[in-house]
C-alpha cells in the first residue's frame, strides 16, 4: 500500500493574482518557436497559414477546457498527477505526473539550447556554456520564491508580446495588399494546424500554480482560458500581418521569417531585434518550465509518490528548492547533449499522452463524481458524456500520427523508466486515491 503522510503539510503560500497567472500563461505559450513556425506553416498552407493558427487554437481549446474544469475541482501543484489519481489510482497518476515532469525538464534543456544559439548572435560564447549558465541562474530564481519568478516572467512576457505587436503594427497598413488565402488548400491548412499546434503547448502549466494563487478554484480556470485566448489572437494577427507584407514563398524559404516583416520598419536592425526577443522568449520559457516542474515534483513528493525529501520548502522563500535543484540537474544533462531535435521530440510525445489522459480523466470524473463542486464546467454533454473532451482526445490522437517514429520510441522509453522508478519506490501496488476533500 502506498504510504501517505499528512495531506495538508507542507503547502505553498498563496500570493499570485489573476493577472499574474494570466500573464504567466501567455508568456509560456508564446515562445521563440513562433519565429520559426511561421515559415514552416507558410510552406504548408501558403498565405492561408493564419487559418492554420486559428484551427490549432480551436483544437487546443478542446483540451484547455478540460484543464479548466479539473483545475477548478483540484487546485493542486500536482496538477495532472492529481487529476488522474483522483479518476483512477496512484499508479496511473504517477505515470502521468512522471511524463509531465519529464516533458517540462526536457523542454527546459531544449529551450536552453535555443538560448545558447541566440546568445551567440551577440556574444562569442560556447553554446553549452550559455545554456548551462541560463539554467543555473533561473534555478536560483525559482528557488528564491514564486514572487521573483513571476515578476521576471511578467517582464519577459511583455517583451515577447511586444515583439509580436511590432510584427502586427508593421503589417497592419498592408492588409489587403495580398491575398490571405493564396496558395492555400484544405490539406495544407490541416498540415499547418498540426504543425503550429506545438506553438500552443504550455497553457496546461498554468494549473501547477494553483496552490500559489488566491481563490485558485475560480482564478486558475479563467486565467488558463484567457491566456490561451490572448495567445491565439496574437498568433492569428501575426499570421495575417506577415503574409500581407511578405509573400508566402519568401516566408517559407527564410530561417528568420518574422525578421523580414520587421525589416519593413526597422531595416537592417530587424535581425538583432528578433534575436533579442528570442533571447527573452527562451529565457521566459525555461524559467516557467523549471518553475512548473519544481511544483509538480513537490506536489507528488508531498503525497509520497516521489521521495518526500523533494517536498522540502525553504524556510525564508517557502519555495520547493530541492525539487528545483533536481529539475536543474536533469535539464542540464539534456542541455549538454545538445541535440535539440531529439529532446523536443520526447517533449511533444509526452505532452500529447498527457493531454489524452487529462481528457479521459475529466470524462471519468463526470460519472464517478457527478456532484463534486466545479467552479467551471465544460459545456455540451450528451446523456452525461461531455462531447468536447472526446473531440479533444481525437484531436490529440491525430497529432500523435504526425510525430516521427523516434519520438514514439523515446517517449515510451521515458514512460518505461517511470515504471521502473514506481516499482523501486512502491512495488507493484495500485492504490486508490483518497476521496474528494
Q: Convert the pLDDT of each residue in 73-82 to its tens digit.
A: 998 877 889 9
> What global pTM score does this model have?
0.86
Select from 356, 344, 263 the least CA-distant residue to 37: 344
- pLDDT band at 363, cuts 50/70/90? very high
CATH of 18-426, picked from 1.20.1740.10, 3.40.50.880, 3.30.1490.100, 3.40.50.720, is: 1.20.1740.10
Give me the residue label for grid cell 483544437.
59
Q: What is the pLDDT of residues 16-51, one digit of tens each?
A: 889 989 998 898 888 766 777 788 888 888 889 999
Each domain of the chain, given as residue ranges in start order, spans 18-426
- Predicted local confidence at residue 193, as pLDDT: 85
- Predicted local confidence at residue 5, as pLDDT: 43
Instruction: Give me the count of residues in the chain.
Output: 437
Q: For residues 327 and 183, which has the higher predicted lDDT (pLDDT)?
A: 327
Give the number of other CB atoms < 10 A from CB of residue 427.
Answer: 9
The average confidence (pLDDT) of the chain is 85
Cis preceding-peptide flag for 115 (omega within 30 of 0):
no
| Distance from C-alpha of 77 to C-alpha of 95, rounded to nearest angstrom | 16
Mean pLDDT score, 360-375: 92
| Distance from C-alpha of 251 to C-alpha of 364, rounded to nearest angstrom | 44
- Predicted local confidence at residue 339, as pLDDT: 60
- pLDDT band at 430, cuts 50/70/90? low
Q: What is the pLDDT of residues 121-157, one digit of tens each?
A: 888 888 889 999 999 999 999 988 888 888 898 899 8
- Predicted local confidence at residue 410, as pLDDT: 85
> Which of 107-116, 141-150, 191-200, 428-437 shows the lowest mean pLDDT across its residues?
428-437
Mean pLDDT score, 188-193: 85
Select from 288, 290, 284, 300 the least CA-distant residue to 321: 290
Exposed/middle/buried for residue 405 (C-beta within 10 Å: 0-12, 13-18, 19+): exposed
**What is the dihedral angle through the alpha carbons of 65, 61, 159, 212, rounded to the nearest 10 degrees?**
10
Percent of the residues in the chain that have a pLDDT greater than 70, as a whole number:
92
| Distance from C-alpha of 273 to C-alpha of 360, rounded to nearest angstrom | 43
Give the number of other CB atoms < 10 A from CB of residue 424.
Answer: 8
Largest CA distance in the chain: 67
Amino acid at each position: 500500500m502506498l504510504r501517505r503522510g499528512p495531506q495538508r503539510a507542507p503547502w505553498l503560500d498563496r500570493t499570485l493574482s489573476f493577472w499574474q497567472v494570466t500573464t504567466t500563461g501567455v508568456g509560456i505559450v508564446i515562445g521563440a518557436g513562433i519565429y520559426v513556425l511561421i515559415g514552416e506553416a507558410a510552406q504548408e498552407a501558403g498565405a492561408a497559414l493564419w487559418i492554420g493558427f486559428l484551427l490549432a487554437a480551436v483544437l487546443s481549446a478542446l483540451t484547455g477546457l478540460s484543464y479548466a474544469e479539473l483545475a477548478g475541482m483540484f487546485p493542486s501543484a500536482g496538477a495532472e498527477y492529481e487529476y488522474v489519481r483522483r479518476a483512477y489510482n496512484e499508479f496511473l497518476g504517477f505515470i502521468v505526473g512522471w511524463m509531465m515532469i519529464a516533458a517540462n525538464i526536457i523542454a527546459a534543456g531544449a529551450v536552453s539550447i535555443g538560448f545558447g544559439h541566440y546568445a551567440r548572435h551577440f556574444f562569442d560564447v560556447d553554446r553549452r556554456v550559455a545554456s548551462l549558465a541560463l539554467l543555473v541562474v533561473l534555478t536560483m530564481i525559482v528557488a528564491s520564491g514564486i514572487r521573483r519568478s513571476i515578476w521576471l516572467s511578467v517582464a519577459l512576457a511583455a517583451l515577447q508580446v511586444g515583439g509580436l505587436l511590432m510584427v502586427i503594427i508593421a503589417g497592419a497598413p498592408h492588409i489587403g495588399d495580398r491575398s490571405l488565402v493564396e496558395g492555400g488548400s484544405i490539406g495544407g491548412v490541416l498540415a499547418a494546424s498540426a504543425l503550429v499546434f506545438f506553438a500552443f503547448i504550455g497553457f496546461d502549466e498554468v494549473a501547477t500554480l494553483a496552490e500559489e494563487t488566491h481563490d485558485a478554484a475560480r482564478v486558475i480556470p479563467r486565467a488558463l482560458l484567457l491566456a490561451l485566448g490572448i495567445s491565439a489572437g496574437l498568433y492569428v494577427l501575426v499570421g495575417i500581418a506577415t503574409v500581407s507584407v511578405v509573400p508566402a514563398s519568401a516566408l517559407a524559404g527564410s530561417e528568420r521569417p518574422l525578421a523580414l516583416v520587421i525589416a519593413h520598419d526597422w531595416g537592417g536592425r530587424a535581425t538583432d531585434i528578433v534575436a533579442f526577443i528570442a533571447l527573452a522568449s527562451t529565457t521566459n520559457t525555461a524559467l516557467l518550465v523549471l518553475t512548473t516542474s519544481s511544483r509538480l515534483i513537490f506536489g507528488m513528493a508531498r503525497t509520497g509518490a516521489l521521495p518526500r525529501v523533494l517536498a522540502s520548502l525553504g524556510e525564508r522563500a517557502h519555495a520547493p528548492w530541492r525539487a528545483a535543484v533536481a529539475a536543474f540537474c536533469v535539464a542540464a544533462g539534456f542541455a549538454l547533449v545538445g541535440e535539440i531535435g531529439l529532446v523536443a521530440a520526447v517533449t511533444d510525445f509526452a505532452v500529447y499522452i498527457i493531454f489524452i489522459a487529462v481528457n479521459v480523466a475529466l470524462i471519468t470524473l463526470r460519472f464517478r463524481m457527478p456532484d463534486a463542486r466545479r467552479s467551471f464546467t465544460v459545456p455540451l454533454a450528451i446523456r452525461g458524456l461531455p462531447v468536447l473532451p472526446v473531440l479533444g482526445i481525437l484531436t490529440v490522437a491525430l497529432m500523435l500520427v504526425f510525430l516521427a517514429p523516434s519520438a514514439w520510441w523515446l517517449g515510451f522509453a521515458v514512460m518505461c523508466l517511470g515504471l521502473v522508478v514506481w516499482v523501486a519506490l512502491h512495488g507493484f501496488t495500485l492504490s486508490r486515491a483518497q476521496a474528494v476533500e
